[in-house]
């Protein structure tokens, strides 16, 4: 009996030491059937994400950032290599992962409450109606939309619509939150407010986040680490740790010397990549 307990503890320790999300020598691309060619978006990417980590990814347009999180989500399969979540190979979408898109992707004929419920309606195994109602209530409260349950998308501001998108992702209680430029379509003031909200939400939920952004400031403000990706075919150029205390949005972190140093370093890595991507598309 004692030996069995020791073995269980040892397995738990070993599991805790393993990366939660792992990409091993991943190459991804798309077939152009008309020209019989293959476009490589990412090449030979290896990356580990710890449980509960907030990983930000920056890079020039077309470098494969979205392709990478689509592979974690299970929407896209790699041409080479493998992605695992909690030790299991990703072969398709799963309840343990949820995506927040840039364009809200709300159903205009549904209220806030029913848009959020939609995330649970299409599950093979779904909670009872009572549990769904409770999850929706908690998610709406978490994103600060209490009182807007019966509102339709056209009655909401851009920031409020994105809150609905985040609530819809949270309501399934996923282990991994995948966010593809979630604040790219809102104004600067709303963007900062949403960053502060997100930091508070993740502090409460403890979820693992993979977050794509074109804003270096946003990446440094939110991320535990920032992955800098080269121009296409995307490769990891450097992974920059962000050694700034939390909470960050409630303090003058952005005015600190360390924030400026990290930001400047990431910009120095991206500058040549951005110019290279611009020449490629000109």
- Judge if 160 and 182 occupy the same domain: no
Percent of the chain whose predicted confidence (pLDDT) is above 70: 90
User: Measured between alpha carbons, how far is 162 from 55 in angstroms, rounded to an integer?
Assistant: 20
Q: What is the per-residue pLDDT across 105-114, written as a single tens digit (0 to 9) for each?
A: 899 999 999 9
Q: pLDDT-based confidence at 278, cuts 50/70/90?
A: low
**CA-based end-to-end distance of the chain:** 69
pLDDT at 253 over 80: yes
Asked if 173 contacts 138 with a C-beta cutoff of 8 angstroms, the reply is no
pTM: predicted TM-score of the whole model, two decimal places: 0.87
| Residue 244 domain boundaries | 20-96+176-282
Residue 279 has a pLDDT of: 52
**76 plus 60 within the same structural domain:** yes
Give the separation between CA 65 and CA 60, rounded to whole angstroms. Answer: 9
Q: What is the pLDDT of residues 196-239, one digit of tens each?
A: 999 999 999 999 999 999 999 999 999 999 999 999 899 999 99
Q: Which of 148, 113, 105 is nearest to 132 (CA)?
A: 113
For residues 79-83, average pLDDT: 95
| 5 lies in some domain | no
Asked whether residue 180 falls in the same domain as residue 260, the answer is yes
d(CA 162, CA 209): 16
Q: Which two tokens stand for residue 126?
A: 């779904």
Are 100 and 139 in contact by the 8 Å Cβ rule? The answer is: no
Give the span between the Cα atoms of 176 and 22, in whole angstroms.
13
Q: Within this chain, do residues 124 and 226 fall inside the same structural domain, yes or no?
A: no
Among the listed ranges 55-59, 93-97, 117-121, 249-253, which one has the minimum average pLDDT value?
249-253
| Domain end call among 173, 198, 223 | 173
The verdict on 90 and 112 lying in the same domain is: no
Higher pLDDT, 159 or 250: 159
Asked whether residue 207 is domain-assigned, the answer is yes
As a residue count, the chain comes to 282
Query: Mean pLDDT over residues 138-158, rounded?
Result: 95
Does 148 fall in a domain? yes
- Looking at the predicted structure, is the pLDDT value of residue 6 above 70? no
Angle between helices 129-142 and 112-121 (to 10 degrees): 130
Q: Is residue 32 very low, low, confident or very high in pLDDT (cuts 50, 70, 90)?
A: confident
Residue range 48-63: mean pLDDT, rounded? 95
Strands (DSSP E) along 110-262, which ranges? 176-180, 208-212, 225-229, 236-241
Helix (H, G, I), strand (E, B) or coil at 266: helix
Percent of the chain with pLDDT over 90: 69
Give the CATH number, domain containing residue 238: 3.40.50.300
Q: Locate tokens 């992974």: which residue?
A: 239
Give the end of a domain, one of 173, 199, 224.
Answer: 173
Q: How many distinct structural domains can be found in the chain?
A: 2
The residue-averaged pLDDT of 183-199 equals 88
Q: For tokens 């599991």, name the residue.
A: 15
């Amino acid at each position: 009996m004692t030996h069995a307990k020791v073995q269980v503890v040892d397995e738990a320790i070993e599991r805790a030491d393993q990366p939660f999300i792992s990409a091993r020598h991943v190459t991804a691309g798309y077939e152009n059937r008309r020209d019989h060619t293959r476009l490589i978006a990412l090449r030979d990417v290896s990356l580990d994400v710890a449980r509960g980590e907030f990983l930000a990814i920056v890079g020039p347009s077309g470098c494969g950032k979205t392709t990478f999180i689509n592979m974690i989500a299970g929407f896209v399969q790699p041409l080479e290599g493998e992605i695992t979540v909690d030790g299991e190979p990703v072969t398709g979408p799963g309840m343990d992962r949820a995506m927040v898109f840039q364009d809200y992707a709300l159903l205009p004929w549904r209220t806030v409450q029913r848009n959020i419920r939609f995330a649970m309606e299409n599950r093979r195994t779904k909670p009872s109606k009572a549990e769904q109602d409770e999850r929706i209530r908690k998610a709406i409260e978490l994103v600060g939309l209490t009182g807007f349950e019966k509102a339709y998308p056209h009655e909401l501001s851009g920031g409020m619509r994105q809150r609905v998108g985040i609530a819809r992702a949270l309501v399934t209680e996923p282990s991994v939150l995948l966010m593809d430029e979630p604040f790219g379509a809102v104004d600067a003031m709303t963007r900062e407010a949403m960053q502060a909200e997100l930091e508070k939400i993740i502090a409460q939920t403890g979820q693992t986040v993979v977050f794509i952004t074109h804003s270096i400031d946003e990446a440094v403000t939110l991320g535990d680490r920032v992955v800098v990706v080269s121009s296409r075919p995307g490769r990891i150029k450097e992974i920059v740790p962000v050694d700034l205390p939390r909470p960050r949005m409630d303090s003058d972190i952005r005015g600190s010397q360390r924030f400026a140093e990290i930001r400047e370093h990431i910009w120095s890595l991206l500058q040549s990549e951005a110019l290279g991507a611009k020449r490629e598309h000109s």
